[in-house]
């Protein structure tokens, strides 16, 4: 049985990437492969902790008295050495975050490094922050490409963002789609009826969206489009489900443009 150290799993059950990573770990045969999760700050809800433990996985969290990038790198390095990890699976939205993990992994002695891209741009509300972070991201791309055993991404665009077009068409690149257990989400008439009654949506044309309230998810565009649709068809309702740093801004925009429920 091999143990793989995995990053990017913070906020399991709340963040999409973290939840996908957690689900992968739950699907593996734990006599063959086990995911151990490097979460830095905080723990997921107890139900997720228990499921990870049942699979034989370990969760590592950074001690509160350790702060800053250097302390984090030293912490990761010590975990790798103490537990003799040989493989690390780095899940990241940006090359500069991935690069820090790559550096720590190499210092710890890991030679098998997988970098997995889950994004196509920097997620930051402020335009100047995005510009600076994008520049740093581009500077770090050669480093992670040189040190990755292969290039992984949830889509070709995410692959280009992290590794560049030349590497995406190479034999080292693989697209791994974010698989979903579709059976859990199949249409159910009784559930539909129950929620329509609960939310007073009978006779309405409902448009639903589930996603973290952040710049990256572009709720602004969705709300702008819906406001025009609603003016033309008054029986339409937009249902937004999620939390996030942009939540207050989104609520204010909805109040301004659309009748809020």
Angle at 53 between CA 49 and CA 56, to 5 degrees: 150
Phi and psi at residue 253, to the nearest 5°: -65, -40
Q: Name which CATH class applies to 2-175.
A: alpha beta
- Please say if the pLDDT value at position 66 is more than 80: no
- Cβ–Cβ < 8 Å for 8, 18: yes
| pLDDT for res 259 | 54
How would residue 261 be classed by pLDDT, with cut points 50, 70 and 90? low
| pLDDT for res 122 | 84
Q: Which of 136, 133, 169 is nearest to 151 (CA)?
A: 169
Kindly report, residue by residue over 168-204, the tens digit of the pLDDT.
999 999 999 988 778 888 888 899 899 999 999 988 9
Angle at 248 between CA 130 and CA 241, to 5 degrees: 95
pTM, two decimal places? 0.81
Rg (CA), the chain: 21
Kindly report, residue by residue over 136-152, the tens digit of the pLDDT.
999 999 999 999 999 99
Residues contacting 110, CB < 8 A, separation 6+: 5, 80, 85, 86, 87, 88
| pLDDT for res 54 | 92
Instruction: Give the residue-averaged pLDDT of 96-119.
Output: 94
Phi-psi map region of 13: left, alpha, beta (phi>0 left; psi -120 to 50 alpha): left
CA distances from 55 to 38, 45, 48, 52, 165 (A): 16, 16, 11, 5, 37
DSSP 71-129: HHHHHHHHHHHHHT--EEEEEESSHHHHHHHHHHHHHHT--EEEEEE--SS---SSHHH
How would residue 258 be classed by pLDDT, with cut points 50, 70 and 90? low
How would residue 211 be classed by pLDDT, with cut points 50, 70 and 90? confident
Residue-range domain boundaries for the chain: 2-175, 187-257
Range list of H helices, the chain: 16-27, 46-54, 69-83, 95-108, 127-147, 156-163, 165-168, 189-198, 219-232, 247-257
Kindly report, residue by residue over 69-96, the tens digit of the pLDDT.
888 889 999 999 999 999 999 999 999 9
């Amino acid at each position: 049985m091999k143990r793989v150290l995995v990053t990017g799993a913070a906020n399991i059950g709340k963040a999409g990437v973290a939840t996908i990573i957690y689900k992968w770990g739950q699907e593996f045969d734990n006599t063959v492969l086990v995911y151990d999760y490097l979460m830095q700050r905080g723990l997921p809800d107890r139900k997720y902790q228990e499921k990870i433990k049942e699979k034989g996985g370990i969760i590592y969290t950074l001690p509160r008295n350790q702060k800053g990038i250097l302390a984090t790198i030293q912490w990761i390095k010590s975990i790798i050495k103490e537990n003799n990890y040989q493989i690390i699976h780095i899940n990241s939205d940006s090359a500069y975050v991935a690069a820090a993990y790559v550096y720590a992994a190499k210092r710890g002695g890991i030679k098998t490094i997988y970098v997995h891209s889950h994004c196509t741009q920097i997620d930051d509300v402020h335009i100047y922050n995005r510009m600076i972070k994008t520049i740093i991201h581009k500077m770090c791309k050669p480093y992670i490409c040189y040190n990755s055993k292969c290039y992984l991404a949830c889509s070709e665009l995410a692959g280009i963002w992290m590794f560049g077009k030349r590497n995406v068409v190479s034999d080292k690149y693989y697209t791994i789609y974010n698989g979903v257990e579709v059976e859990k989400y199949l249409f159910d008439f009784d559930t539909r009826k129950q929620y329509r009654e609960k939310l007073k949506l009978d006779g309405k044309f409902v448009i639903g969206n589930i996603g973290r309230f952040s710049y990256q998810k572009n709720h602004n565009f969705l709300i702008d489009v819906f406001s025009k649709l609603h003016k033309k068809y008054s029986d339409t309702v937009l249902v937004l489900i999620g939390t996030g740093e942009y939540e207050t801004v989104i609520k204010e925009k909805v109040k301004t443009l659309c009748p809020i429920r």
